[in-house]
Amino acid sequence: MAWLRIAVVVALPWITYHAWVNDWETEKRVIEYSETVAAPDMKPSTLAGPSSSPYRALRTKGISLWHVAVTLPWVELSFRSFCGLYGWMSIQADPLVYYVFGALYAALLAILVVPALQGAAPGARSLLVGVLVCAALVGGQSIYRSWVFDFQPQGRYLFPILPMLFFYWWHCESPSLRVPALVVGVLLGALGLFSFAVVALPSLV
């Protein structure tokens, strides 16, 4: 359980200090401060009212999680911002760029799954299942926050999935798949640079 001890050593001092600074009533202090400085439609006391921001506290307003996941563009915006949305998430590339991103990520995931299916490394399947479960939890916390607090389908909330995949590949990589994985990785990086150079820079300068 070394990972648990590391997590405690890293997180506990900050959590304790943060609580101590706020006299052990952090949540109350946050609400009080929000009531003081927030715009009228963003104050905690107005979240469920008709004057509040339409995309805040959706659960409180009676919106279902299914509606957030399926009807609202949470999946689409999360993926696009994961790949590259700019400005206030209003500057985006041509839809074809995101389709190419999707195809490349699908190819990369397929390459990562092969060692587990072939049983090339001991424990590969168990590690893959663990990674997929943790990745699902990362996606779950992101959509949960969009539902409960504020609708923010931002891809940066999904970034922790990437080191999970790297960790899995480090333990379970197949020598025969190193070149395909490298090619797909380079293409993803090149497409990201292309998107930033062609879409973001001209729009932001």
Segments making up each domain of the chain, as ranges: 73-204
Long-range contacts of 91-96 (CB under 8 A, 24+ apart): 91/199, 91/200, 91/203, 91/204, 92/199, 93/195, 93/198, 93/199
Let me know: does 81 contact 156? Beta carbons within 8 Å.
yes
Let me know: does 172 contact 121? Beta carbons within 8 Å.
yes
Q: Give Cβ neighbours of residue 204 (< 8 Å, ≥ 6 apart).
A: 86, 87, 91
pLDDT tens sequence across 30-55:
888 888 887 877 777 777 777 778 88
Q: Looking at residues 56-75, what average pLDDT do you find?
A: 90
pTM: 0.79
Residue 197, pLDDT > 70, answer yes
Q: Where residue 120 falls among pLDDT bands split at 50, 70, 90?
A: low
Q: What are the tokens at 104?
A: 């490349």
